């Protein structure tokens, strides 16, 4: 069978999961394509990112993105499509489900009403700043929605979940990849800078924990940044950050209600548009289970590691499917929504930490 040159076809520019390629083939051909070539290459690339992260102390998700982008030429090989599609979809969704074991309703309640309301305001500020940044930079409103939501909740995993609702018809893969890179890089820098700033500003443990937990995107880096300040700050940052993670499902539901399904449609009753993707429902189920049934000691840390592994593979596969030339064409303006959301998140969290807590 003659193979098509995917790089020559602009239809593939925003094709995150390979639907354009897969639907262009006969059904029997799609089923015959083996899953293991793309999956194996993606796993090897993820292992390389993990090795680099362990030896050079660099954020693992960001390294997964960079390694995947360096191998993006492999992502256009037709034999890789089915495996990368599987890694992008299934590993992402299962990783988000497993993430639900990291938080309980009791932990959210432990924040207290005032810090919880403050956290909601910080998240709203990040979300709105992403939208305003997109408008100012003349970018798509969906780019601002993605950047604001990823900054407000939990970085790359929230971006992946939100993109499933926004859909490739609304937002190109190039902008999506840039958002992933932006939130991962911002989180890595924040983990190093925010604890030092908290020390210079004379914040106490509770204030520093709120600032770091409310404004750093990635879960592991928010927790690590908190413990870099002090053990007490690390404990408080963990609670604040996990409260943000628990709000992933409501945010996805709200976005789905406002903009409709991933195919760009807003038709149908509102309660149909409110329906959540199955993996977000499963995330809520694992969160509820974790709240009602205490897990054995040590399981929480193992499940967090499993979630990070699954999300790493999903992010690496996404990067391998990206078009580097489209990333370059997007220009510096495409980074403005993420930058605006990050600055607004830090400023609002600092204001509440200093004046309210």
**Closest to 16 in 3D by CA, of 252, 255, 279, 318:** 318
Q: Give 186-210 pLDDT, tens digit per residue.
A: 887 888 789 989 999 999 999 999 9
Bigger pLDDT: 99 vs 288: 288
Long-range contacts of 55-63 (CB under 8 A, 24+ apart): 58/188, 59/184, 59/187, 59/188, 59/191, 59/218, 59/221, 60/308, 60/312, 61/155, 61/156, 61/184, 61/218, 61/308, 61/311, 61/312, 61/315, 62/181, 62/184, 62/185, 62/187, 62/188
141: tokens are 């409103």
**Closest to 346 in 3D by CA, of 111, 58, 123, 183:** 123
Q: What are phi and psi of 50, to 5 degrees?
A: -65, -40
Q: Give 72-99 pLDDT, tens digit per residue.
A: 888 778 888 888 888 877 887 888 788 8
State residue 168's pLDDT score.
79
The domain ranges of the chain are 9-355
Average of per-residue pLDDT across 23-32: 47
Average of per-residue pLDDT across 49-71: 84
State residue 146's pLDDT score.
93
Q: What are phi and psi of 302, to 5 degrees?
A: -65, -40
State residue 28's pLDDT score.
47
SS (H, E, C) 311-330: HHHHHHHHHHCCCHHHHHHH
Average of per-residue pLDDT across 316-339: 75
Instruction: Give the mean pLDDT of the chain.
Output: 79
Q: How many CB atoms within 10 Å of residue 21?
A: 22
Helix, strand, coil tally for the chain in percent (to 5): 80, 0, 20
- pLDDT band for 27, please (50, 70, 90 cuts): very low
Euclidean distance between CA atoms 249 and 128, whole angstroms: 18
**From its phi and psi, is residue 268 left (phi > 0), alpha (psi between -120 and 50) or beta?**
left
Asked if residue 260 lies in contact with residue 272, where contact means CB atoms within 8 angstroms, the answer is: no
């Amino acid at each position: 069978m003659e193979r098509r040159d995917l790089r020559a076809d602009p239809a593939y520019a925003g094709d995150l999961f390979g639907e354009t390629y897969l639907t262009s083939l006969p059904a029997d051909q799609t089923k015959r394509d083996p899953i293991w070539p793309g999956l194996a290459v993606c796993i090897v690339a993820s292992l390389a990112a993990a090795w680099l992260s362990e030896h050079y102390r660099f954020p693992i998700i960001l390294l997964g993105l960079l390694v995947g982008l360096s191998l993006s030429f492999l992502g256009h090989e037709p034999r890789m499509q089915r495996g990368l599609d599987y890694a992008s979809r299934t590993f992402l969704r299962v990783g988000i489900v497993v993430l639900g074991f990291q938080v309980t309703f009791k932990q959210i309640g432990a924040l207290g009403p005032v810090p919880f309301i403050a956290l909601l305001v910080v998240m709203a500020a990040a979300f709105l700043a992403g939208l305003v940044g997109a408008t100012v930079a003349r970018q798509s409103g969906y780019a601002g929605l993605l950047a604001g939501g990823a900054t407000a909740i939990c970085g790359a995993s929230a971006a992946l979940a939100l993109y499933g609702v926004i859909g490739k018809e609304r937002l190109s893969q190039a902008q999506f990849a840039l958002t992933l890179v932006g939130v991962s890089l911002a989180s890595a820098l924040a983990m190093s800078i925010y604890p030092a700033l908290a020390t210079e500003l004379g914040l106490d443990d509770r204030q520093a924990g709120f600032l770091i937990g409310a404004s750093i995107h990635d879960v592991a880096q928010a927790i690590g940044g908190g413990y870099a300040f002090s053990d007490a700050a690390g404990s408080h940052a963990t609670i604040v950050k996990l409260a943000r993670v628990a709000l992933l499902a409501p945010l996805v539901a709200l976005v789905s209600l406002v903009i409709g399904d991933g195919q760009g449609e807003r038709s149908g009753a509102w309660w149909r548009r409110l329906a959540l993707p199955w993996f977000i429902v499963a995330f809520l189920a694992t969160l509820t289970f974790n709240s009602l049934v205490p897990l054995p000691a040590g399981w929480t840390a193992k499940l967090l590691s499993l979630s990070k592994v699954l999300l790493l593979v999903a992010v690496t596969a996404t990067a391998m499917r990206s078009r580097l030339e489209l990333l370059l064409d997007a220009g510096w303006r495409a980074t403005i929504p993420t930058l605006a959301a990050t600055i607004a998140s830090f400023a609002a969290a600092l204001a509440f930490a200093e004046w309210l807590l």
